[in-house]
Amino acid sequence: MFYDLSFKILMLLFIFILFMCFSIEPAYSKILGIGVVDLPTDFKFENNNKNAKMALKYIEGVKVKPDQIFSFNKTVGKRTIAQGFYEGLSGSGGYYYKDVGGGVCATATAIHRAVINSGLKVVERHKHLYSAIYAQDGDDAAVDWDVNWDYKFKNTSKDIITIRTIETDTFVAVYLKLWEKKIIMWKFT
């Protein structure tokens, strides 16, 4: 019994000393930037909206390490029916053609807006030939697997970034979250 009590006291003393010398604050997060894209309401773009939301599922929770380059095409992969994508419409400015995965550019644009709002470095970006209906200001990001148009950004921060997503009936959104963990050491003088 004495052994159990002394062992517990010794362990408590050890934990107290450890706590006094080192303190690990819990990880905290900070939102670096948000990108939102309003989805088209015209019925002919219904599958485009489904594709934009499907692309969100592929990027949700992806972690990008410091100095790592994120690639939309590498992360989302080839847009196929087997991957869960629908035949939508690709193109811009009223010029459209049927394409499996048409509409994923809305998600790429949401990522681009979040990256710009974060101050991170855009490594590769392509624009639609004509203005996209969800990006009248020309801040779109066009992606196409077959012609190797990708959207890439570099994590120029010193911490891991997590890509988080939100979807509703009317918009898709991406936000970039920075996770940090602080370790503080105290010195006894």
Residue 45 lies in a domain: yes
Residue 116 lies in a domain: yes
Residue 14 lies in a domain: no
Beta bridge partners, 77, equal none
Which structural domain, as residue segments, surrounds residue 150? 28-185
pLDDT in tens, 116-175: 999 999 999 999 988 898 998 889 999 999 999 999 999 999 999 999 999 999 999 999
Q: How confident is the model at residue 187 (pLDDT cuts 50, 70, 90)?
A: very low
Residue 38 lies in a domain: yes
Residue 154 lies in a domain: yes
Residue 11 lies in a domain: no
* Per-residue model confidence (pLDDT) at position 19: 54
Q: Which of 174, 16, 170, 147 is nearest to 73 (CA)?
A: 147
Residue 102 lies in a domain: yes
pLDDT (mean) for 27-39:
86
Say how many domains are in the chain: 1
pTM of the model: 0.81
Q: Are 37 and 135 in contact (CB under 8 A)?
A: yes
* Contacts of residue 117, Cβ cutoff 8 Å, sequence gap at least 6: 32, 33, 34, 35
Residue 5 lies in a domain: no
